[in-house]
């Protein structure tokens, strides 16, 4: 009760601070309306409504297999899972008048052989804080749940004990607070050309929630988790963006070309979600010493730069685009290295980890230190090529907009059971290899306004739905077990452990979560408004045809300058499955209370 009181007091204090600040959104700071300041800020409290999964064994046929699919740390229903404070301030300055008047060094721009229009610069500051690690329940605010890890039977395997203090420091560094200059860029137009140079976010495509042609900026889930909107999880990149407008080109109208090049080394898996976060995947939540992970980002140079080009045009009443991307995905390629033979008896040569461990190690080779861990995992970002197109058109007769998007992913990271099972690849070598494959992705969406006067006689309902298909080309098999009861080594999987098979009396052999060759997903969002827009209920549904659901009813109450949002997220699945990955978070049902302050 005392901890709950502290949390409530801190939350109310945060709301009061927001209200007292009375910061405005898109406020003009000069008479000419060339300088604008925009601010948005909110505080939320997200409370779990079910116990997280504690690793109860799974039943497969007549056998009961031990499971590592539990969530670490365990958190009971009613416990706080998030207390997020967010503020974003945007400063925009148009400098056309200063260039014309020759103010300071801007007078040099008058000597250019072309005339700049709509010139200016943009700065965005973003601050984030999660109070769960300070005044949340003890599984997040203390090291109590980490301490039992020190008593695991690792001495027999000659492994070092987990460094709990280092894990806690890393958790607080990555997931507690973050302040940064989020975006900073210059932009201008001249003739038919528009350019923007600097740290920025660029989104292509017509899809919501899904990423097809939107694989430009990485998504960061290390701070805040998967329920944070995409716009708050996109990571800005140092980028040059160019746009050239053609106009009419034969039967095409409003035609333009757009391209970008981003020289940046940011990827979605660095930093990863840290151990101890409420949003870690099953079997990934606790610090481990038997497996040591090394993450490698692309280099910050032109050779490893992201880039892309697209053509957008209208034909009749439809808008089309054709695009090509050379980019990096948020899911890394993973490769395991281990000693030759079955790594039952681990080793510890007592040597520190090498600064650059991008080589396989062999036993106690003094030039290739093993850091006290029998298995090393290398996470890398392979270059992925994306080819795709979109089409969008309106049907005014039925108040609808149809949109579709198709994309071909070449060389995206993929995984098989053999890659992650040392009992399979350890007999023949020291690594499970790395695998890339291609996939075909299709999305069809429909947005419509319609009357349902029985429920709302004064305002229409808005509905948007999307149907998404992903087909893996040359997918590995789908059979989980061989006739002799051993895991099928050549099947498509996600790098998440479902169960552990007993091997030589020790439950070590992992059985990974299966990934279907074809995934079918459906989304639906319904909204309307009452009382002149002051009451706005909504209902969101996400259905993975593999057998997983997300339901999210909610309501937003608007009483200027405040917004109060209450929503309930239900994630439902009986078994861990691939596809969208919803089932991996089946134990994270929660209710959110959020207050925004806006002028």
DSSP string, 553-565: EEEEEEETTEEEE
pLDDT at residue 574, as a whole number: 84
Q: Hey, what are 75's tokens?
A: 């958190």
Find where tokens 């093993």 sit.
370
Strands 84-94 and 461-472: unpaired
Distance in Å from the first CA to the final CA of the chain: 35
pLDDT at residue 4, as a whole number: 32
Rounded distance, CA 230 to CA 68, Å? Answer: 29
pTM: 0.88
What percent helix, strand, coil does the chain show, rounded to 5?
15, 45, 40
The Cβ-side half-sphere exposure at 433, using a 13 Å CA radius, reads 14
Rounded distance, CA 279 to CA 272, Å? Answer: 11
pLDDT tens for the 599 residues of the chain, in order: 333 333 223 322 333 333 333 334 577 677 778 999 999 999 999 999 999 988 766 555 555 555 667 888 999 999 999 999 999 999 999 999 998 888 888 888 888 888 899 999 999 999 999 999 999 999 999 988 888 776 665 544 455 667 788 889 999 999 999 999 999 999 999 999 999 999 999 999 888 888 899 999 999 988 988 889 888 999 999 999 999 999 999 999 999 999 999 999 999 999 989 989 999 988 777 887 777 788 889 999 999 999 999 999 999 999 999 999 999 999 999 988 776 544 444 445 555 565 555 544 444 444 455 666 777 888 999 999 999 999 999 999 999 999 999 999 999 999 998 888 777 766 666 777 889 999 999 999 999 999 999 999 999 999 999 999 999 998 888 888 778 777 788 889 998 888 777 654 445 677 889 899 999 999 999 999 999 999 999 999 999 998 999 999 999 999 988 999 999 999 999 888 888 888 999 999 999 999 998 77
pLDDT at residue 372, as a whole number: 65
pLDDT at residue 345, as a whole number: 45
Q: H helices of 149-280, where?
A: 164-175, 230-233
Q: Hey, what are 209's tokens?
A: 């929630």
Rounded distance, CA 37 to CA 29, Å? Answer: 7
> How many Cβ atoms sit within 10 Å of the Cβ of residue 510?
22
pLDDT at residue 2, as a whole number: 33
Rounded distance, CA 520 to CA 469, Å? Answer: 5
Contact present, 67 and 57 (Cβ < 8 Å): yes
Rounded distance, CA 328 to CA 305, Å? Answer: 10
């Amino acid at each position: 009760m005392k901890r709950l009181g502290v949390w409530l007091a801190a939350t109310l204090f945060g709301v009061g601070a927001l209200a007292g600040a009375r910061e405005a959104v898109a406020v003009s700071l000069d008479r000419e309306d060339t300088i604008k300041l925009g601010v948005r800020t909110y505080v939320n409290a997200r409370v779990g409504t079910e116990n997280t999964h504690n690793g109860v064994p799974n039943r497969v046929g007549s056998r009961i297999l031990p499971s590592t699919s539990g969530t670490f740390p365990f958190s009971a229903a009613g416990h706080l899972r998030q207390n997020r404070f967010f503020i974003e301030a945007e400063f925009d300055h148009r400098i056309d008048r200063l260039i014309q008047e020759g103010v300071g060094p801007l007078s040099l721009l008058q000597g250019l052989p072309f005339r700049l229009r709509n010139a200016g610069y943009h700065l965005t500051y973003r601050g984030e804080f999660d109070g769960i690690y300070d005044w949340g329940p003890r599984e997040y605010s203390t090291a109590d749940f980490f301490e039992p890890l020190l008593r695991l039977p690792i001495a027999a395997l000659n492994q070092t004990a987990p460094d709990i203090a280092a894990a806690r420091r890393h958790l607080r560094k990555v997931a507690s607070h973050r302040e940064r200059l989020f975006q900073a860029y210059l932009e201008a137009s001249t003739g038919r050309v528009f350019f923007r140079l600097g740290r920025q976010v660029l989104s292509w495509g017509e899809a919501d929630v899904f990423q097809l042609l939107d694989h430009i900026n990485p998504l960061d889930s290390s701070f805040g988790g998967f329920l944070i909107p995409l716009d708050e999880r996109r990571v800005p990149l140092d980028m040059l963006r160019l746009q050239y407008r053609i106009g009419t080109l034969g039967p095409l109208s409003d035609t333009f070309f757009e391209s970008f090049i981003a020289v940046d080394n940011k990827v979605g898996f660095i930093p990863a979600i840290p151990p101890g976060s409420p949003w870690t995947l099953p079997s990934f939540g606790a610090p481990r010493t038997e497996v040591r992970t090394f993450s490698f980002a692309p280099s910050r140079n032109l050779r490893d730069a992201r880039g892309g080009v697209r053509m957008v045009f209208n034909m009749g009443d439809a808008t089309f685009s054709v695009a090509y991307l050379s980019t990096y995905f948020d899911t890394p390629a993973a490769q395991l290295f281990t000693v030759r033979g079955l790594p039952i008896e681990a080793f510890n040569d007592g040597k520190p980890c090498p600064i650059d461990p991008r080589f396989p190690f062999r036993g106690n080779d003094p030039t290739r230190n093993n850091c006290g861990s029998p298995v090393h995992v290398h996470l890398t970002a392979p270059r992925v090529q994306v080819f795709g197109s979109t089409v969008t058109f309106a049907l005014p007769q039925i108040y609808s907009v149809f949109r579709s998007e198709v994309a071909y992913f070449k060389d995206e990271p993929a995984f098989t059971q053999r890659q992650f099972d040392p009992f399979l690849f350890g007999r023949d070598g020291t690594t499970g290899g790395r695998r890339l494959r291609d996939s075909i992705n299709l999305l069809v969406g429909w947005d419509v306004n319609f009357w349902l006067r029985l429920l709302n006689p004064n305002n229409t309902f808005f509905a948007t739905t999307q149907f998404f298909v992903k087909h893996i080309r040359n997918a590995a098999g789908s059979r989980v077990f061989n006739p002799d009861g051993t895991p099928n080594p050549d099947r498509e999987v996600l790098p998440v452990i479902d169960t552990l098979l007993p091997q030589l009396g020790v439950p070590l052999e992992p059985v990974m979560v299966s990934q279907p060759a074809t995934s079918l997903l459906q989304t639906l969002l319904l909204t309307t408004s009452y009382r002149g827009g002051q009451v706005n209920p909504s209902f969101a549904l996400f259905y993975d045809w593999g057998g997983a659901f997300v339901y999210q009813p909610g309501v937003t109450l608007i009483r200027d300058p405040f917004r109060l949002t209450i929503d309930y997220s239900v994630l439902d699945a009986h078994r861990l499955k691939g596809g969208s990955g919803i089932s991996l978070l089946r134990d994270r049902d929660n209710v959110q209370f959020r207050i925004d302050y806006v002028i």
